[in-house]
Amino acid sequence: MESSRSIGVKVFAEYYHAAAEAHQEGKPIAYITAFTPVEILRAMGLVCLYPESYAVVCAASGRSTEMIQASGMEAFAQDLCSYSLLSFGAERCDRPPFHGLPPPDLLIATNNQCGTTMLWFRLWAQKKNIPLFIIDYPGAAHDQPALTRYIRRQYEALIEFIQAHTGNPLNPAILGEQVERSKQTCMLWQSVHEVNQARPVRVEVQRLIDALFPIVVARGTRQAYEYYEALLRECSQPVGQDKNHTIRLLWHGYPMWFLPKKFPRCGDTQCQIVLNDYTLWWSLRYPDTADDMEALAVAYSDTYLNRTVPRRVEEVAGLVAAYSIEGVICHANRSCRRALADISPLRQRLHQSSIPSVVIEADMANPQFHSAEQIQLRMESLCDALRVL
Ligand code: SF4
């Protein structure tokens, strides 16, 4: 049986190869945001590229500072999301990773994660004169039929927009396959995490971060499904006992892509980050329905960052209980204002349950805002507090 590692390498190569090939052959390329209903786009023959994912690759390449400087917008680093800065920087710096992304024919943005992506994509549309379509997702639409219908009407307009610009009609059979595979893949991804509800940890949080790429860029494809099927098989093998009684920590929010291991090292060997809720943001909930458009409208309106703050807080509190978490590290990620909103109410909620937490102020992709000393001190204080409890 093929290993997840081998399938993962193929998914990565295929994604960048398909982009380069599409550019050479003149196939339509769309830049899309992380929670665009990619299933519709693939069913219309578009090659879809994710600038946010590419920004992660840029940050992980160790060249964030240089690329943010190259963006020409460095003066706004305090105000703008560093993914957008890296993305603009990649277009202007020498030798960007993988030679950069090929140029898009269409831009499709959504606001079910933040408002930044819409402004970012609008800037591209204006500068490069590329057609842009924006999908508006009201918060809390997942259980309100009128709002779900509103999103569906936008999907119909999206299909007309793509057909007008490419001539490609929607293939309903491909759409059905994509939606069903996305649903199954998200369920597998959820199950991969759930093996860590048992002690000891079976899949390191670092490995979960490394395993994120297929569900972000290839959700709905056969390869992504097979990747998580293999990963779940590998992670379900029995392991020994937790003799040292590990103190289990949850990292709330974004990892730090520029760090070699994506999370700061926890100096206390008894404490271990066993879950990062960020990786579960991609575990979308596609409802059981034969109506593909309905399934997409519900799943994509109920992304983590599109939920109300009280629902987000309850979601994380539920993870703390399910994964026997003893302490929480909240990453106050300067880049992402929408993500910042839940930190304070979450800490109050955790306090009520006697779960200690600390806040680390940093950035997911800009090392300029990273202080190893500050982080070390706060993590040590959390571990000290947990040891005496
Ligand atoms: S990090 Fe936050 S602000 Fe930046 S694109 Fe993602 S959701 Fe939007």
- Residue 305 Cα: closest atom of ligand 1: 7
User: Of 246, 268, 245, 248, nearest to 383 (Cα)?
Assistant: 268
- Per-residue pLDDT at 139: 84
pLDDT for the residue numbered 143? 79
* Residue 125 Cβ contacting ligand 1 at under 6 Å: no
Q: Would you state the pLDDT for residue 368?
A: 93
Confidence of residue 156 (pLDDT cuts 50, 70, 90): very high
Confidence of residue 251 (pLDDT cuts 50, 70, 90): very high
Residue 268 CB-density burial (10 A; 0-12 exposed, 13-18 middle, 19+ buried):
middle
Residue with the smallest CA separation from ligand 1 atom 3 is 336
169 Cα–ligand 1 center, Å: 31
Residues 98-137: tens digit of each pLDDT:
999 999 999 999 999 999 999 999 999 999 999 999 999 9
> Which of 312, 335, 366 for mutating ligand 1's site (highest number of atoms within 8 Å of CB)?
335
Could you report the per-residue pLDDT of 306-362, keeping only the tens digit for each? 999 999 999 999 999 999 999 999 999 999 999 999 999 999 999 999 999 999 999
* Cα-based angle 224, 211, 225 (whole degrees, multiple of 5): 15
The atom of ligand 1 lying closest to the CA of 83 is: 4
- Percent of all residues in the chain with a pLDDT value above 70, rounded to a whole number: 99
How much is the mean pLDDT over the chain? Answer: 94
- For atom 4 of ligand 1, the residue with the nearest CA is 81
What whole-number distance in Å separates Cα of residue 88 and Cα of residue 139? 29
DSSP one-letter code for 110: E
- Domains of the chain, CATH where assigned: 4-169 (3.40.50.11890)
Does ligand 1 have an atom closer than 6 angstroms to the CB of 71?
no
**Residue in 68, 79, 83 to alter for ligand 1 test, most ligand atoms within 8 A of Cβ:** 83
Alpha carbon distance 338, 114 (integer Å): 6
Give distance in angstroms: CA of 111 to centre of ligand 1: 10
Each residue of 33-61: pLDDT tens digit? 999 999 999 999 999 999 999 999 999 99
